[in-house]
Amino acid sequence: MDASHLDPAKVDYAALEVPLTRAEIRDFHARIRSAQRTDPSISTGLTTATSVISIIAIVGFVGIFFLIFGVTIVGGLITSSVAGSVDGGSIGIELFFLLLFAVIAFVVFRSLFGSGGNWAKWLRLTRFAGANGLQFRTRSANPEYPGCVFNLGDTRQATDHFSTVEGRYLDFGNYQYSTGSGKNRTTRHWGFLAMQLDRNLPNIVLDSKANNSLFGSTNLPATFSRDQVLSLEGDFDRYFTLYCPKEYEQDALYVFTPDLMALLIDDAAPFDVEIIDSWLLVYSASPFDMLSTSTYQRLFRIVQTVGSKAVSQTARYHDDRVASAAANIVAPQGQRLRHGVSVSTLVIGAIFAAFWLWSTFHGS
């Protein structure tokens, strides 16, 4: 696999660590805005209108607060003076909260604008991409990956992500989507890595046990039928639950050899992994810190070990259920896993059923 420039020991991490000046950030901001005027398709992930509205809202809120609070204090002082008595304790408390709010406002403004905010981050990531033969994008709508994380909700988008510009395609960064509406609307955030393989493969999911939630329930947005669980040798089952389509157990064993299982345990145990169509997808239950050197070292190590082994191990894979030996396709029954009911749903259902039975017999 041609990804030697992504060897964790050879990657240039300087752009993530070298201090930036305000002049550099301003120049970068100006260059991007100028490029946007020439080509509106260039996206920064933060439109000018959004920036202006955010600034106006913050400044307006702070200004109104200081005005109301200031008028209250001054009015109180005047009233107290006229009455001939000044409540020092009350005025002291008001001044304390005014000072506290001023400090908070200063910290917020400094973090948003004094250090460049997102623009400083984007400048670092753009330079990091340029130094390592990658393309950086702040936001890409509706990434077309077939995995279980990528086809839910709306406003789906990859954020702060990198992709290769030549050789085997690799994409990694963060991803989010939203579900529900009104007060029930929520946004789910993930870290992801997508690597293209040479062959189409059966849908196989490795559900990491390290990030499971209550009752051992998966953190993945999809739950798979338990009759598709395949137990593997050694300690692998302590780290992952492997799901593969029924009657594709031998195919899964062909892919997940002992050496690949060992690499997964060593380098990818905290993450969920999915093989689907011609993609190897790695999911993190929380977004990646894209300014952290350790994030890239971990991801590039997965590419160099798990990814490389997966490519070589599947290079000659063929689904025997397909007539043509030359066809790079999987039979329909192996293309997607069947969904099931989560453990937490069953437990909650059992609790409600037990409560209903108790209430019924107790009431009678």
Here the tokens at position 108 are 């917020």
Tens of pLDDT, residues 59-88? 566 567 666 666 666 566 566 666 666 555
User: For residue 148, with 0-12 CB atoms within 10 Å meaning exposed, 13-18 middle and 19 or more buried, which class applies?
Assistant: buried
Q: What is the pLDDT of residue 115?
A: 46
Instruction: Give exposure, 167-192, as e/b (b: 16+ Cβ within 10 Å).
Output: ebebbbbbbbbeeeeeeeeeeeebbb
Here the tokens at position 265 are 């345990």
Q: What is the pLDDT of residue 105?
A: 60
Q: What is the pLDDT of residue 54?
A: 47
Distance of alpha carbon 162 from alpha carbon 195, whole angstroms: 12
Per the CB < 8 A criterion, the answer to whether 224 and 213 are in contact is no
Q: What is the pLDDT of residue 265?
A: 97
CB atoms within 10 A of CB 350: 10
pTM value is 0.77
User: For residue 217, with 0-12 CB atoms within 10 Å meaning exposed, 13-18 middle and 19 or more buried, which class applies?
Assistant: middle
Q: What is the pLDDT of residue 324?
A: 87
Q: What is the pLDDT of residue 72?
A: 66
In the predicted model, residues of the chain with pLDDT beneath 70 are 1-4, 39-63, 65-95, 97-98, 101-116, 341-364
Residue 89 main-chain phi, psi, to 5 deg: -65, -45
Q: What is the pLDDT of residue 345?
A: 47
Per the CB < 8 A criterion, the answer to whether 1 and 311 are in contact is yes
Domain boundaries, the chain: 1-132, 142-343
